Amino acid sequence: MKRDFLSLLDWSTEELWELLELAAHLKREARAGVRQDHLLRGKTLAMIFQKPSLRTRVSFEVGMRQLGGHALYLGPEDIKLGQRETVEDVALNLSRYVDGIMARVFGHEVVEELARFATVPVINGLSDLLHPCQALADVLTIWEKKRRLEGLTLAFIGDGNNVANSLIEASAKFGIRFRIACPETHEPNARIVAEARALGAEVEILRDPKEAAKDADVIYTDVWTSMGQEAEAEVRRRKFQGYTVDLSLISQAKPDALVMHCLPAHYGEEITYEAARSKNSVIFDQAENRLHAQKALLVRLLGGRA
């Protein structure tokens, strides 16, 4: 039976821990120079992009190459998903050619529809609702640095966007306390918050960044304006004044708190350059771990490894 990766809530905590452990193992092997090109030899991943990308495209493409497979890039103009051809037909066609599909899209319903009709695994590389691959890399990074996840406090400063939503799901799965400081009308998705709380997660929605950051183990931020919201950029800059992660805000957290950002960063807006380069920052460790976490996911889904 084929398996998809659209949301962290679709996988059990045990399965997610297996992914993290496999990712850590693959990372150690790669750094030791151990060849891994037998793991997905002969496999092909179709990568559908409605949005531009640096980390998603490079990490999946390099990951497939390191594992011995091939990644096929399909940009916005290549297939015009849902315009030139229905999502159903794209899913059915690609299923005859490739071993897996990764999609970076606008509407979450697009990746859900791909998964519904595809007969090969579908990975949500990002949607407007969720970014589970980022969250998987993030918890891998936190686990590496803190050697635990349960009981930690993660303070998210800024917009309750797709990254925040997936981190809430991660918090529910791994026992992390989640706080978000955001302006009114910029809260994370209410359904996702309710689902996480129903699973026993502690999710606090606050307005004051200092209150959220107090004694936190992780301070996380992301851009105030996501792709597709460019027309709102100036309004958002005004609304998010006071929500910048700087050295003063970091000082409210624990001395060894991690500073995280999924990138790209707009320095001087959601984070200062000094904060991003501070001793607490692990933002480039996060970026690297996209590669290792996704390699584990690809081996699990395309290679059948449990």
List active site positions.
104, 131, 134, 222, 262, 290
The token duo for 238 is 């005004």
Tell me how far apart the alpha carbons of residues 3 and 201 are, in angstroms, rounded to a whole number.
Answer: 25
Say which amino acid occupies 150.
E
Structure tokens at 120: 């090969």
Closest by Cα among 149, 138, 206, 142 to 176: 149
Q: Tell me how many degrees the CA angle 178-141-164 measures, rounded to the nearest 5.
A: 35
What one-character DSSP code corresponds to residue 291?
H
As a whole number of angstroms, the distance between CA 201 and CA 171 comes to 7
Rounded Cα distance between 154 and 181, Å, is: 11
257 CB-near residues (< 8 Å, 6+ apart): 216, 217, 218, 219, 250, 280
Question: How far from the centroid of its chain's Cα atoms is residue 77's Cα?
Answer: 24
Helix, strand or coil for residue 165? helix
Q: How far is CA 86 from CA 110, 117, 121, 197, in A?
A: 10, 11, 19, 36
What are 81's strand-pairing partners?
85
Q: Return the CA Rg of the chain.
A: 19
In sequence order, which ranges of 32-131 are alpha helices (DSSP H)? 55-66, 76-79, 87-97, 108-117
Q: Give the type of residue at 49.
A: F
